[in-house]
């Protein structure tokens, strides 16, 4: 319990509030802290983005002649202090608060005001509203965090490319419907995984273009009330320059405040990546299943013991981590979609949860892709002996006989081989009427497929 001398009195439009003397925030932050104890804190990446937006806004207001240079310099210096990594504990508010994010916007304003000696509303929030600052900050956070994800995807693609090139001469049995199918190169299987990640990364980059469009300058409802001429243009310029990123001023800020479609499309691209990661991880754990009683066509790194009771057991734990993350991303996509469909008239009021889920999805995908690449994919090794064994015993090489004896006769050959536990060659010698030399030629041609 704190004594009375450990508090200071702050005030807002509702009256006085006791704030711990050692904290930088003010009355509105304290009210929110006391009224909302629900879930996790607002992502710090979002806080940093809000601070970055405030920095750009101060410079834009100064360029417009609305904010005196002395105050601008003080606010910019305060922003730089926070962005250098200090004062992280000054932003304690949770995600589940007001749906516009007003309390977090004011939390940042109050901390900046105390550090700079300016006013939280009149100076730090000049020409701004939570309603344009908060969605702008979600977009900025998304662009910045995506750089880390794409770096992780590039490393993933590079590792798959290395495997594809290394094992180009290895042929194995293909599978459809979990049943044996015709032969394929192992490199083709890996190449399909690689293409999926390349396409997913491209979709993310394309979707990010819509996120680069910012509603900054729309203030309360999109009309730009209380902003000077060219303010939004200058603010977006300052933001782009400071972050060395390309951002665009929205030409319809009513839309930018009321709709979250760019974020829905972007998170949909994250979901697409999660779906592909789920597929690849499942392929890897099926192919590595065993080691004696499963498919066992590849081996993966044995990173840790897999059982507390079965000695020597090793499990595909990286695959399991990736697939659990994929489940979370799919759930997050539903949350983002539902949240984006809500809110009435001029403002979406589900923005904190949208920010939270996008932040979580970007973090989880970046971390899981990095871990999967480093601790699993890098160590994939084909069991060529097992692959060849399956290849030689597969009945689907009979497909190559269709041009010579017809589809129905080839189907009869497969059933005969299966019923009598014969190889395709043994069945063909009994049924096809072809010479052994021709049968060998057909089978070898089926196995030595084009790479």
Active site residues per annotation: 177, 307
> Are the C-beta atoms of residues 95 and 352 closer than 8 Å to each other?
yes
* Residue 70 vs residues 42, 62, 66, 77, 274: alpha-carbon distances, Å: 31, 9, 12, 11, 48
- Residue (of 148, 147, 145) closest to 45 by Cα position: 145
Tell me whether the omega of the peptide bond preceding residue 291 falls within 30 degrees of 0, making it cis.
yes
Q: Which residues contact 301 (CB under 8 A, 6 or more apart)?
A: 375, 376, 378, 379
Q: Return contacts of 281-285, CB within 8 angstroms, 24+ apart.
A: 281/318, 281/319, 281/320, 281/322, 281/323, 281/326, 281/372, 282/319, 282/323, 283/189, 283/193, 284/316, 284/319, 284/376, 284/377, 284/380, 285/316, 285/319, 285/320
| ∠ Cα 67 69 71 (to 5°) | 70
For the packed helices 130-166 and 44-63, what is the interaxial angle rounded to 10 degrees? 120
As a whole number of Å, the end-to-end CA separation of the chain is: 73
Strands 381-382 and 298-299: antiparallel
Q: Two tokens at 151?
A: 């770096």
Q: Two tokens at 299?
A: 């081996």
Q: Two tokens at 402?
A: 């269709």
> Are the C-beta atoms of residues 13 and 71 closer than 8 Å to each other?
no
* Residue 269 vs residues 128, 135, 201, 352: alpha-carbon distances, Å: 31, 19, 8, 20
> Are the C-beta atoms of residues 431 and 413 closer than 8 Å to each other?
yes
- How large is the C-alpha radius of gyration of the chain? 30
| ∠ Cα 159 162 168 (to 5°) | 140
Tell me whether the omega of the peptide bond preceding residue 408 falls within 30 degrees of 0, making it cis.
no
> Are the C-beta atoms of residues 446 and 416 closer than 8 Å to each other?
no
At 402, is the secondary structure helix, strand, or coil?
A: helix
């Amino acid at each position: 319990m704190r004594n009375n001398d450990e508090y200071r009195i702050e005030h807002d439009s509702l009256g006085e509030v006791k704030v711990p003397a050692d904290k930088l925030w003010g009355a509105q932050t304290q009210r929110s802290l006391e009224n909302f104890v629900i879930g996790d804190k607002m992502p710090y990446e979002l806080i940093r983005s809000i601070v970055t937006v405030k920095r750009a806004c101060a410079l834009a207001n100064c360029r417009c002649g609305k904010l005196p240079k002395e105050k601008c310099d003080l606010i910019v210096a305060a922003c730089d202090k926070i962005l250098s990594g200090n004062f992280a504990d000054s932003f304690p508010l949770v995600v589940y608060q007001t749906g516009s994010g007003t309390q977090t916007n004011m939390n940042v304003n109050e901390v900046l005001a105390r550090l700079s000696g300016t006013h939280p509303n009149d100076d730090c929030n000049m020409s701004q509203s939570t309603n344009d600052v908060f969605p702008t900050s979600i977009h900025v956070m998304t662009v910045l965090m995506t750089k880390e994800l794409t770096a992780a995807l590039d490393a993933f693609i590079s590792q798959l490319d290395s495997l594809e090139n290394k094992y180009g001469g290895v042929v194995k049995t293909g599978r459809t419907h979990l049943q044996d199918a015709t032969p394929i190169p192992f490199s083709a299987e890996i190449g399909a995984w690689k293409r999926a990640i390349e396409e997913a990364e491209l979709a993310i980059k394309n979707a990010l273009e819509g996120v680069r469009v910012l509603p900054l300058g729309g203030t309360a409802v999109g009309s730009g009330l209380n902003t000077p001429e060219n303010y939004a243009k200058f603010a977006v310029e300052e933001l782009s320059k400071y972050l060395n990123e390309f951002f665009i001023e929205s030409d319809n800020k009513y839309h930018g405040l009321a709709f979250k479609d760019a974020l829905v499309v972007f998170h949909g691209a994250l979901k697409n990546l999660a779906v592909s990661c789920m597929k690849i991880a499942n392929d890897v754990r099926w192919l590595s299943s065993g080691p004696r009683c499963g498919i066992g066509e590849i081996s993966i790194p044995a990173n840790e013991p897999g059982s507390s009771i079965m000695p020597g057991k090793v499990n595909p734990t990286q695959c399991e981590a990736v697939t659990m993350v994929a489940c979370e991303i799919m759930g997050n996509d539903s949350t983002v979609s539902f949240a984006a469909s809500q809110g009435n008239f001029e403002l979406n009021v589900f923005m904190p949860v949208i920010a939270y889920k996008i932040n979580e999805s970007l973090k989880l995908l970046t971390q899981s892709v990095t871990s999967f690449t480093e601790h699993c994919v890098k160590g994939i090794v084909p069991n060529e002996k097992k692959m060849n064994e399956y290849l030689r015993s597969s009945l689907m090489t009979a497909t190559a006989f269709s041009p010579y004896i017809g589809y129905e006769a080839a189907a009869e050959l497969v059933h005969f081989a299966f019923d009598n536990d014969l190889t395709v060659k043994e069945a063909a010698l009994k049924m096809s009427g072809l010479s052994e030399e021709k049968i060998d030629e057909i089978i070898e041609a089926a196995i030595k497929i084009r790479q």
